[in-house]
Amino acid sequence: MNKKLLGLVAAVGVSFGLATAAQADMLSDIKAKGKIVAATEMHYAPFDILKDGEYQGICHDLFTEVAKELGVEVEFLDLPWQSILPGLEAGKFDFVNAPVTITAERMSRYNFTLPIGNATVALAKKAGDDSISAPSDIAGKAVGSQKGSAQLEQLKAFSESLDTPADVREYVNIDEALSDLAAGRIQAVANSAPLMGYAAVQRAGLFEMVMPPFGDPKFFGWVAPGGEDSKTLVAAINDAILKMHEDGRLQAINEKWLGSNPELPTTMPDVK
Amino acid sequence: MNFSFEVIWHNLPYLLAAARWTLLISLGGMAISLVWGIFLCAGRISRGSVIRSLARLYISFFRGVPLLVQLLMFYYMLPYVGLDLPAIAAAILAVGMCSAAYTAEILRGALQTIPAGQTEAAQALGIPTLSLWRRILVPQAIRIGLPSLVNELILLVKVSSLASVVGIGELTRISQNITGETYRPLEIFIAAAVIYFLINLVISGLGRLAEKRLEVG
Amino acid sequence: MELDLFIRYGPALLSGFGVTILCWLVGSIGGLVLGFLLACLYRFGPKALGWLIYIYVEIIRGTPFMIQLFILYYGGPYVGLVLSPMQAGILSFIIYGSPYFSEIFRSGFNAIPKGQIEAARCVGLSERRILMRIILPQMLVPTTAPLTNFFIILTKETAILSVVTVPELLYETQTMAAETFTFVEPFLVLSLFYWVLVIGTSWVGERVEARVTRHLRRV
């Protein structure tokens, strides 16, 4: 046993020292294996959904097409967010096909792909609540959002610009914010526009979207490990995304899930 | 609120399928916890000071560091030292090794109530240490510590939910995922709670039964 | 590892740690007291009450804390029970811990030979004196270690309060993790803070144990 304990201690030490395991070019490794392993949280509708035991959603459909373009099979893993970054760095899987808001701080640690979704913030309110008809009506009201998210920052900035700021409440998961909206403790929830729109469609009698989205335009990208090894992989995935822009697959998939085309940019967005 | 039994009914097969992982991890973890816990307890009260300190260090580490972090270590850090465990093995091992630290302490507490005279008498009669433990000390310690041990096993069933961090779709994780799609957390969580309750009812029922059978005095 | 992260998020993490300690102390001591009352009522109260306690223990102990708290906090308003995060957190924490404590005390009662209590009754000791002088001092011997165990388990269960937005340690480390996209640093912080609590609790547990087992030691 004591050996194991020492092993653990050594493992901790090693992992603090080495940010990533030494790897050659990821793209050629994946092509040689004929398979890419992608992890996500199957818990972010309409991007990632686990419905009737099956993984579905925009990210599922898009990445399945990307894998076809790369000429490899794809295996999807469901992981809670806490273990997605450790797993990516430990090389347990190759890629994160979850929608992650592209921000400067995050780009300094990991390599992002081109945008695959609209991450601009929008509000959901309780169905039939007449007191909120535009985003600015949240002045003085309690609004929930997800902790540490880029959308929370946008909400805070917007709230500060109002005459009476909103009472911004931070939740660990967006499910809990929506539960509190249903329970009546808060009057609105702020998150990415597609997510809010989907919730309003799924529970039409309970939630309703507040138009339009507000704040700076933001985008979701996918994430590869930081450093040089993943550069060619990201480039190949970007090529696939661009190709899907051109041949209409990207639009078709988005329309299937969102009922509209998010008009994503074909270049990397500027982040401060 | 419009409580929807239909959502529960529709998703019940997926919840039950996920509960099989919960059961597998729990049963594997329990076996490790009980067996390894006895050895740890013996180490903790051993006369050799090196073994005693190592057992103390083990217990302090496994009780001190959150199980979430231990699991991440087992799964994501052991590959750095060349030990790449499958997810389910990492989960069972981590849950069992952590629980063993608590089991060891429960048994140690129970052993203290056994009069030292018993050990001395056994030694005077020339009974070997292994038999002393197997036939005299462990059975009594289990009898006295049984309710606390059942507590620990039930906690183990519930912490098996952390196995989701190594990618296992156990009951809590699948409930959360279904919630993310149905937006009906209360219904799904109540269903999950009932499944946990039934599993734990079996454990505590067996515990009570064992308690009755071991009852003395 | 980036040390400036600890400086940037230090105040929030420390305040989270403070909230964790507060919830843990209030919740676990409340649970201990409630659990002791339940164990005494189960042992000495009428049989019907014993059955009710048994059902309570099985239901609360058999279901996950996260789900109990979720139902209390997010389901409560539907039946007119609107609690603040802190109220819901501490109340459910006390309720959640009580059946475990009650079972530990029950195991303590089991450790005392029935003959002793019968003998005490024969020599005319009152039930109160039997409890205080004979049962309690002896039941603390096998229960101190499991009680310490459970206090330690509860330190980490406080993390679940984050689902109802109680600003405890995990809640605060989530911000750091999500904003900066780090994971080693937040987990290190969590582990170190919890370890401090656990070492402190074990130390107290050992002192108590040394005191309650003093009579067993040979000179």
Instruction: Using a CB–CB cutoff of 8 Å, tell me whether C76 touches chain B.
Output: no
Chain C nearest-CA residue for B200:
C62
Most confident of A16-25, B159-168, C105-114: B159-168
For the A22-118+218-258 domain, the top CATH level (class) is alpha beta
Q: Kindly report the average pLDDT of chain C as a whole number.
A: 93
CA distance B58 to chain A (A): 8
Q: Which residues in C lie closer than 8 A to residue B198 (C-beta atoms)?
A: 62
Give which of B28, B11, B96 is closest to A4, Cα–Cα: B96
ipTM for the assembly? 0.91
Instruction: Using a CB–CB cutoff of 8 Å, tell me whether C15 touches chain A.
Output: no
pLDDT over threshold 80, residue C185: yes
Asked if the A121-214 domain carries CATH number 3.30.40.10, the reply is no
CA distance A178 to chain B (A): 8
What percent of chain A has a predicted confidence (pLDDT) above 70?
Answer: 91
**Gap between the Cα atoms of B214 and A49, Å rounded:** 50
Yes or no, beta carbons of B76 and A15 under 8 Å apart:
yes
pLDDT over threshold 80, residue A92: yes
Yes or no, beta carbons of A85 and C74 under 8 Å apart:
no
**Gap between the Cα atoms of A39 and B76, Å rounded:** 14
Categorize the per-residue pLDDT at A30 as very low, low, confident or very high, splitting at 50, 70 and 90: very high
Instruction: Using a CB–CB cutoff of 8 Å, tell me whether C218 touches chain B.
Output: yes
Residue B134 structure tokens = 């197997």
Structure confidence at residue A10 (pLDDT): 47
Yes or no, beta carbons of C63 and B145 under 8 Å apart:
no
Yes or no, beta carbons of C70 and B63 under 8 Å apart:
no
B16-73 pLDDT, tens digit per residue, is 999 999 999 999 999 999 999 999 999 999 988 999 999 999 999 999 999 999 998 8
Beta bridge partners, A50, equal A55
Chain B nearest-CA residue for A57:
B181
**Gap between the Cα atoms of A96 and A39, Å rounded:** 5
**Gap between the Cα atoms of C127 and C129, Å rounded:** 5
Q: Which residues in A lie closer than 8 A to residue B171 (C-beta atoms)?
A: none
**Gap between the Cα atoms of B92 and B165, Å rounded:** 13
Instruction: Using a CB–CB cutoff of 8 Å, tell me whether C183 touches chain A.
Output: yes
**Domains A22-118+218-258 and A121-214 in one fold:** yes
Q: Kindly report the average pLDDT of chain A as a whole number.
A: 90
Alpha-carbon C107 to chain mean position = 16
Closest residue to B178, CB basis, from A5, A50, A83: A50
Instruction: Using a CB–CB cutoff of 8 Å, tell me whether C153 touches chain A.
Output: no
Structure confidence at residue C218 (pLDDT): 59
Structure confidence at residue B3 (pLDDT): 87
Return the half-sphere exposure (C-beta side, CA atoms, 13 A cut-off) of residue B29: 33
Yes or no, beta carbons of B148 and C149 under 8 Å apart:
yes
Q: Quick one: which H or E segment has residue B4?
A: none
pLDDT over threshold 70, residue A2: no
Q: What is the mean pLDDT of residues A57-64?
A: 97
Categorize the per-residue pLDDT at A5 as very low, low, confident or very high, splitting at 50, 70 and 90: very low
pLDDT over threshold 80, residue C217: no
Structure confidence at residue A16 (pLDDT): 45
Structure confidence at residue A19 (pLDDT): 41
Instruction: Using a CB–CB cutoff of 8 Å, tell me whether B165 touches chain A.
Output: yes
Chains contacting B with at least 3 CB pairs below 8 Å?
A, C
- The sheet with strand A121-126 has its strands ordered as A167-171, A142-146, A188-192, A121-126, A207-214
pLDDT over threshold 80, residue C100: yes
Q: Which residues in B lie closer than 8 A to residue A42 (C-beta atoms)?
A: 177, 180
Categorize the per-residue pLDDT at A15 as very low, low, confident or very high, splitting at 50, 70 and 90: very low
- End-to-end Cα distance, chain A: 50
Structure confidence at residue B11 (pLDDT): 96
Structure confidence at residue A4 (pLDDT): 46
Yes or no, beta carbons of B154 and C61 under 8 Å apart:
yes
DSSP chain C: --HHHHHHHHHHHHHHHHHHHHHHHHHHHHHHHHHHHHHHHHHHS-HHHHHHHHHHHHHHHHS-HHHHHHIIIIIGGGGT----HHHHHHHHHHHHHHHHHHHHHHHHHHTS-HHHHHHHHHTT--HHHIIIIIIHHHHHHHHHHHHHHHHHHHHHHGGGGGGGT---HHHHHHHHHHHHT-SHHHHHHHHHHHHHHHHHHHHHHHHHHHHHTGGG---
B159-216 pLDDT, tens digit per residue, is 999 999 999 999 999 999 999 999 999 999 999 999 999 999 999 999 999 988 887 5
Yes or no, beta carbons of A179 and B57 under 8 Å apart:
no
pLDDT over threshold 60, residue B93: yes
pLDDT over threshold 90, residue C215: no
C17-35 pLDDT, tens digit per residue, is 999 999 999 999 999 999 9
Yes or no, beta carbons of A14 and B176 under 8 Å apart:
no
Categorize the per-residue pLDDT at C5 as very low, low, confident or very high, splitting at 50, 70 and 90: confident
pLDDT over threshold 90, residue C46: yes
A170-229 pLDDT, tens digit per residue, is 999 999 999 999 999 999 999 999 999 999 999 999 999 999 999 999 999 999 999 999
Domains of chain B as residue ranges with CATH: 5-214 (1.10.3720.10)
Domain extents in chain A: 22-118+218-258, 121-214
Q: Which residues in A lie closer than 8 A to residue C184 (C-beta atoms)?
A: 15-16
Categorize the per-residue pLDDT at B1 as very low, low, confident or very high, splitting at 50, 70 and 90: low
Chain A nearest-CA residue for C79:
A183
**Gap between the Cα atoms of C74 and A181, Å rounded:** 9
Instruction: Using a CB–CB cutoff of 8 Å, tell me whether A91 touches chain B.
Output: yes
Structure confidence at residue A272 (pLDDT): 66
B102-143 pLDDT, tens digit per residue, is 999 999 999 988 888 899 999 999 999 899 989 889 888 888
Yes or no, beta carbons of C74 and A82 under 8 Å apart:
no
Is there a contact between B193 and B37 (Cβ–Cβ < 8 Å)? Answer: no
Structure confidence at residue A265 (pLDDT): 93
**Gap between the Cα atoms of C172 and C10, Å rounded:** 10
Yes or no, beta carbons of A83 and B72 under 8 Å apart:
yes
Among A140-149, C53-62, C92-101, C106-115, the range scoring the smallest mean pLDDT is C106-115
Structure confidence at residue C131 (pLDDT): 87
Structure confidence at residue A21 (pLDDT): 46
Categorize the per-residue pLDDT at A1 as very low, low, confident or very high, splitting at 50, 70 and 90: very low
Residues of A near C (Cβ–Cβ under 8 Å) read 15-16, 81-82, 85-86, 89, 105-106, 109-110, 147-149, 169-173, 176, 179-180, 182-185
Question: Is the bond into A212 cis (omega within 30 degrees of 0)?
Answer: yes
How would CATH label the architecture of C10-213?
Answer: Orthogonal Bundle (1.10)
Categorize the per-residue pLDDT at A245 as very low, low, confident or very high, splitting at 50, 70 and 90: very high
Q: Kindly report the average pLDDT of chain B as a whole number.
A: 92
